[in-house]
Amino acid sequence: MHGPPLVGWLLVALCTATGAYCLVSTRAGAAGERRAAAGDALMGLGMAAMAVPAAALDTRPWGQGLLALVFAGAGVRTLMAARRQPEAHHMHHAVGAFAMVYMALAMAGSPAAVHAGHAAAAREPAGVPLLTGVLLAYFAVYVVRGAAGMVPAAAAPGGEAAWQGRGRRGRPELTHACRLSMGIGMLTMLLTM
């Protein structure tokens, strides 16, 4: 990542914790829940790898390309799953995977990637501004809707009873919080490109 190192390390910590929780969640639940948890774990851990500050880990020339290939494969696999079982989370995972491909390719070709030590080059934006703006808008709406969706469920009468028995290990609020934190992480990564 080419933003401030502190932001990068905070994103690494957040995304690693989120990815680890999702990885642990792949052990329980129905098959669909385990697949969704695996997709979330891949996104969280991939975001953590991508958020490592460029000054700490110079992965040129292979690192960004490898991440782009991994996320392209994950995106194609998610689209194929969406054809079999059209669910909203499949499309969100596909958008997230292709956003990661876009960010990896944009960061690989940016002047900041070529001259990671130069402060002036690090200020030049990477990627296509219009596409970055569309992705920012998508993830901003996702985060706002996700945050708004979490508040009424906890405040509603009998809200806790309504949550029981659904989601990963009966704790869907943690699943929603993890997805919300990954959405916030995507927003941050797009802003620091």
What is the model's pTM?
A: 0.76
* Contact assessment for residue 67 and residue 189, using Cβ atoms and an 8 Å cutoff: no
For the chain, the domains span 5-191
Q: Which residue has the tokens 């969280």?
A: 44
- The span from the CA of 150 to the CA of 157, in Å, is 14
Name residues whose C-beta falls within 8 Å of residue 180's C-beta, 6 or more positions apart in sequence.
Answer: 143, 146, 147, 150
* Contact assessment for residue 139 and residue 158, using Cβ atoms and an 8 Å cutoff: no
What three-state secondary structure class fits 156? coil
Sorting pLDDT into bands at 50, 70 and 90, what band is 192? Answer: confident
Angle between helices 31-51 and 172-191 (to 10 degrees): 30
Taking the CA atoms of 164, 169, 175 and 177 in sequence, report the sign of the dihedral they define: positive
Over residues 68-111, the pLDDT tens digits come to 898 999 889 888 887 887 776 778 888 999 999 999 888 877 65
Name residues whose C-beta falls within 8 Å of residue 93's C-beta, 6 or more positions apart in sequence.
Answer: 36, 39, 40, 43, 74, 75, 78
Over residues 12-61, the pLDDT tens digits come to 999 999 999 988 888 877 777 787 788 888 889 988 988 888 777 766 66
Query: Rounded mean pLDDT of 170-183?
Result: 80
